[in-house]
Amino acid sequence: MDSSREEENDKAMMARCVELSRIAVGKTEYPFGTVIARDGQILAEAINHTVRDGDVTRHAEVIALSQAQKAIGREQLRHYTLYTNIEPCAMCAYCIREAWIGRVVYALSSPVMGGFSKWNILRDDDMSGRMPQIFANVPVVVSGVLAAEAQQAWRDWNPLAWQMIKLRGLLTDPSPEPVRVRPAHSRSLWHYMQILFERTRQARAETQAPDAQENSHL
Ligand SMILES: [Zn+2]
Protein backbone atom coordinates (compact mmCIF):
# COMPACT_ATOMS: atom_id res chain seq x y z
CA MET A 1 0.00 0.00 0.00
CA ASP A 2 1.35 3.47 -0.81
CA SER A 3 2.21 5.65 2.13
CA SER A 4 -0.40 8.39 1.54
CA ARG A 5 -3.18 5.77 1.47
CA GLU A 6 -1.76 4.25 4.64
CA GLU A 7 -1.67 7.68 6.27
CA GLU A 8 -5.31 8.28 5.30
CA ASN A 9 -6.33 4.92 6.76
CA ASP A 10 -4.37 5.61 9.93
CA LYS A 11 -6.17 8.92 10.43
CA ALA A 12 -9.61 7.41 9.74
CA MET A 13 -9.03 4.51 12.14
CA MET A 14 -7.63 6.81 14.84
CA ALA A 15 -10.65 9.09 14.42
CA ARG A 16 -12.78 6.06 15.25
CA CYS A 17 -10.62 5.38 18.34
CA VAL A 18 -11.15 8.96 19.51
CA GLU A 19 -14.89 8.59 18.89
CA LEU A 20 -14.84 5.34 20.90
CA SER A 21 -12.99 7.10 23.73
CA ARG A 22 -15.87 9.61 23.88
CA ILE A 23 -18.43 6.79 23.77
CA ALA A 24 -16.56 5.16 26.68
CA VAL A 25 -17.07 8.27 28.82
CA GLY A 26 -20.82 8.07 28.15
CA LYS A 27 -20.70 4.53 29.57
CA THR A 28 -18.89 5.60 32.75
CA GLU A 29 -15.53 4.22 31.54
CA TYR A 30 -12.25 6.09 31.12
CA PRO A 31 -11.65 7.50 27.63
CA PHE A 32 -9.91 4.62 25.87
CA GLY A 33 -10.78 3.22 22.46
CA THR A 34 -9.16 0.55 20.27
CA VAL A 35 -9.68 -0.62 16.70
CA ILE A 36 -8.05 -3.55 14.89
CA ALA A 37 -8.14 -3.09 11.11
CA ARG A 38 -6.57 -3.96 7.79
CA ASP A 39 -6.47 -1.45 4.92
CA GLY A 40 -9.11 0.67 6.64
CA GLN A 41 -11.51 -2.27 7.19
CA ILE A 42 -12.37 -2.72 10.87
CA LEU A 43 -12.18 -6.28 12.22
CA ALA A 44 -12.71 -5.52 15.93
CA GLU A 45 -13.22 -2.50 18.15
CA ALA A 46 -13.60 -2.01 21.88
CA ILE A 47 -13.64 0.36 24.82
CA ASN A 48 -12.47 -0.42 28.35
CA HIS A 49 -14.69 -2.49 30.63
CA THR A 50 -12.63 -1.97 33.79
CA VAL A 51 -15.22 0.14 35.64
CA ARG A 52 -18.36 -1.74 34.64
CA ASP A 53 -16.81 -5.18 35.17
CA GLY A 54 -14.83 -4.14 38.25
CA ASP A 55 -11.87 -5.83 36.56
CA VAL A 56 -8.53 -4.11 35.94
CA THR A 57 -7.63 -6.55 33.14
CA ARG A 58 -10.49 -5.44 30.85
CA HIS A 59 -8.55 -2.95 28.75
CA ALA A 60 -9.88 -1.99 25.31
CA GLU A 61 -6.83 -3.48 23.53
CA VAL A 62 -7.18 -6.87 25.25
CA ILE A 63 -10.92 -7.03 24.49
CA ALA A 64 -10.35 -6.13 20.82
CA LEU A 65 -7.54 -8.70 20.57
CA SER A 66 -9.84 -11.40 21.95
CA GLN A 67 -12.50 -10.55 19.35
CA ALA A 68 -9.94 -10.51 16.53
CA GLN A 69 -8.39 -13.86 17.47
CA LYS A 70 -11.82 -15.47 17.70
CA ALA A 71 -12.77 -14.02 14.30
CA ILE A 72 -9.71 -14.89 12.20
CA GLY A 73 -7.06 -16.56 14.40
CA ARG A 74 -3.64 -15.36 15.39
CA GLU A 75 -1.83 -16.21 12.20
CA GLN A 76 -3.64 -13.58 10.10
CA LEU A 77 -3.12 -10.79 12.60
CA ARG A 78 0.34 -10.02 11.24
CA HIS A 79 -1.47 -8.22 8.40
CA TYR A 80 -3.47 -6.08 10.84
CA THR A 81 -2.90 -2.83 12.68
CA LEU A 82 -4.00 -2.19 16.23
CA TYR A 83 -5.04 1.45 16.67
CA THR A 84 -5.52 2.96 20.07
CA ASN A 85 -5.82 6.52 21.34
CA ILE A 86 -3.27 5.97 24.13
CA GLU A 87 0.00 4.00 23.94
CA PRO A 88 -0.74 0.41 25.06
CA CYS A 89 0.24 -0.41 28.64
CA ALA A 90 2.69 -3.20 29.50
CA MET A 91 -0.09 -5.82 29.80
CA CYS A 92 -1.65 -4.92 26.45
CA ALA A 93 1.74 -4.60 24.74
CA TYR A 94 2.57 -8.15 25.84
CA CYS A 95 -0.74 -9.44 24.41
CA ILE A 96 -0.05 -7.55 21.16
CA ARG A 97 3.32 -9.32 20.83
CA GLU A 98 1.87 -12.75 21.55
CA ALA A 99 -1.11 -12.18 19.21
CA TRP A 100 1.37 -11.38 16.37
CA ILE A 101 -0.10 -7.97 15.49
CA GLY A 102 1.95 -6.47 12.65
CA ARG A 103 1.55 -2.79 13.37
CA VAL A 104 0.61 -0.57 16.31
CA VAL A 105 -0.59 3.02 15.89
CA TYR A 106 -1.42 5.33 18.78
CA ALA A 107 -2.03 9.03 19.37
CA LEU A 108 -0.62 9.91 22.80
CA SER A 109 2.44 8.47 24.54
CA SER A 110 2.25 7.03 28.03
CA PRO A 111 5.75 7.57 29.51
CA VAL A 112 4.81 6.23 32.96
CA MET A 113 2.82 3.10 31.98
CA GLY A 114 3.49 2.44 28.29
CA GLY A 115 4.73 -0.81 26.78
CA PHE A 116 6.87 1.18 24.35
CA SER A 117 8.13 4.39 25.98
CA LYS A 118 8.39 3.08 29.56
CA TRP A 119 9.02 -0.64 29.03
CA ASN A 120 10.57 -2.18 25.98
CA ILE A 121 7.86 -4.73 25.19
CA LEU A 122 6.89 -3.48 21.71
CA ARG A 123 10.60 -3.19 20.81
CA ASP A 124 12.03 -6.26 22.52
CA ASP A 125 13.78 -8.36 19.86
CA ASP A 126 14.98 -10.81 22.49
CA MET A 127 11.45 -12.17 23.03
CA SER A 128 10.95 -13.06 19.36
CA GLY A 129 14.60 -14.02 18.83
CA ARG A 130 14.62 -16.62 21.58
CA MET A 131 10.96 -17.69 21.50
CA PRO A 132 9.86 -17.22 17.88
CA GLN A 133 7.23 -19.93 18.30
CA ILE A 134 5.44 -17.67 20.83
CA PHE A 135 6.24 -14.07 19.88
CA ALA A 136 6.16 -12.39 16.48
CA ASN A 137 8.84 -10.01 15.43
CA VAL A 138 8.49 -6.50 16.83
CA PRO A 139 5.59 -4.64 15.17
CA VAL A 140 5.92 -1.39 13.26
CA VAL A 141 5.02 1.39 15.71
CA VAL A 142 3.56 4.75 14.70
CA SER A 143 2.86 7.37 17.35
CA GLY A 144 1.32 10.83 17.34
CA VAL A 145 -1.54 10.22 14.86
CA LEU A 146 -4.39 12.69 15.61
CA ALA A 147 -2.70 13.55 18.92
CA ALA A 148 -4.56 16.89 19.20
CA GLU A 149 -7.96 15.23 18.72
CA ALA A 150 -7.12 12.51 21.26
CA GLN A 151 -6.09 15.14 23.81
CA GLN A 152 -9.26 17.11 23.22
CA ALA A 153 -11.40 14.07 24.06
CA TRP A 154 -9.55 13.68 27.36
CA ARG A 155 -9.86 17.40 28.12
CA ASP A 156 -13.61 17.27 27.42
CA TRP A 157 -13.96 14.24 29.71
CA ASN A 158 -12.53 16.09 32.71
CA PRO A 159 -10.60 19.36 32.27
CA LEU A 160 -9.17 19.28 35.81
CA ALA A 161 -8.04 15.66 35.63
CA TRP A 162 -6.50 16.39 32.23
CA GLN A 163 -4.49 19.28 33.72
CA MET A 164 -3.14 16.95 36.41
CA ILE A 165 -2.28 14.30 33.81
CA LYS A 166 -0.41 16.92 31.76
CA LEU A 167 1.39 18.35 34.80
CA ARG A 168 2.58 14.94 35.91
CA GLY A 169 3.59 13.97 32.38
CA LEU A 170 1.40 10.87 32.41
CA LEU A 171 0.24 11.27 28.82
CA THR A 172 2.16 13.29 26.27
CA ASP A 173 2.07 14.24 22.63
CA PRO A 174 5.18 12.45 21.30
CA SER A 175 6.02 14.94 18.54
CA PRO A 176 4.49 17.42 16.12
CA GLU A 177 4.62 14.77 13.36
CA PRO A 178 3.77 11.05 13.63
CA VAL A 179 6.87 8.95 14.43
CA ARG A 180 7.38 5.61 12.64
CA VAL A 181 9.60 2.88 14.04
CA ARG A 182 10.15 -0.12 11.77
CA PRO A 183 11.41 -3.57 12.81
CA ALA A 184 15.16 -4.06 12.43
CA HIS A 185 14.76 -7.75 11.50
CA SER A 186 12.49 -9.75 9.26
CA ARG A 187 10.44 -12.69 10.51
CA SER A 188 12.44 -15.78 11.32
CA LEU A 189 12.18 -19.17 9.61
CA TRP A 190 10.94 -20.50 12.95
CA HIS A 191 7.96 -18.23 12.69
CA TYR A 192 6.95 -19.45 9.25
CA MET A 193 7.31 -23.05 10.43
CA GLN A 194 5.04 -22.28 13.37
CA ILE A 195 2.41 -20.78 11.05
CA LEU A 196 2.53 -23.90 8.88
CA PHE A 197 2.18 -26.09 11.96
CA GLU A 198 -0.84 -24.11 13.23
CA ARG A 199 -2.52 -24.25 9.82
CA THR A 200 -2.10 -28.02 9.61
CA ARG A 201 -3.38 -28.49 13.15
CA GLN A 202 -6.42 -26.28 12.52
CA ALA A 203 -7.25 -28.06 9.26
CA ARG A 204 -6.97 -31.45 10.98
CA ALA A 205 -9.17 -30.32 13.88
CA GLU A 206 -11.82 -28.96 11.52
CA THR A 207 -11.94 -32.15 9.43
CA GLN A 208 -11.91 -34.57 12.32
CA ALA A 209 -14.10 -32.96 14.94
CA PRO A 210 -16.33 -30.12 13.77
CA ASP A 211 -18.71 -30.61 16.72
CA ALA A 212 -15.92 -30.51 19.28
CA GLN A 213 -14.81 -27.14 17.90
CA GLU A 214 -18.25 -25.63 18.29
CA ASN A 215 -18.43 -26.75 21.91
CA SER A 216 -14.87 -25.87 22.81
CA HIS A 217 -15.97 -23.02 25.10
CA LEU A 218 -17.77 -25.45 27.44
ZN1 LIG B 1 -3.62 -1.89 28.67
Distance 92 CA to ligand 1 centre (A): 4
Distance 24 CA to ligand 1 centre (A): 15
Average pLDDT value for residue range 35-54: 97
pTM value is: 0.84
Which phi and psi (to 5°) does residue 114 adopt? -75, 145
Tell me if residue 198 falls in helix, strand or coil.
helix
Distance 184 CA to ligand 1 centre (A): 25
**pLDDT of 212 higher than 60:** no
The whole-angstrom separation of Cα 33 and Cα 97 is 19
Distance 59 CA to ligand 1 centre (A): 5
Tell me if residue 97 falls in helix, strand or coil.
helix
Q: Are 75 and 50 in contact (CB under 8 A)?
A: no
Distance 80 CA to ligand 1 centre (A): 18
Least confident of 12-21, 57-66, 139-148, 203-212: 203-212
**pLDDT of 207 higher than 80:** no
- Measured in residues, the chain has a length of 218
Q: Strand 103-108 vs strand 179-181: parallel, antiparallel, or unpaired?
A: unpaired
For residue 23, the model assigns a pLDDT of: 97
**pLDDT of 162 higher than 70:** yes
Distance 185 CA to ligand 1 centre (A): 26
Query: Which residues line ion ligand 1, judged by CB < 5 Å?
Result: 59, 89, 91-92
Per residue in 177-197, pLDDT (tens digit) is: 677 777 766 666 666 666 676
Per residue in 77-113, pLDDT (tens digit) is: 999 999 999 999 999 999 999 999 999 999 999 999 9
Distance 118 CA to ligand 1 centre (A): 13
Distance 88 CA to ligand 1 centre (A): 5
State percent of the chain over pLDDT 90.
66
Confidence of residue 30 (pLDDT cuts 50, 70, 90): very high
Which phi and psi (to 5°) does residue 113 adopt? -125, -5
Average pLDDT value for residue range 156-185: 82
Distance 89 CA to ligand 1 centre (A): 4
Distance 99 CA to ligand 1 centre (A): 14
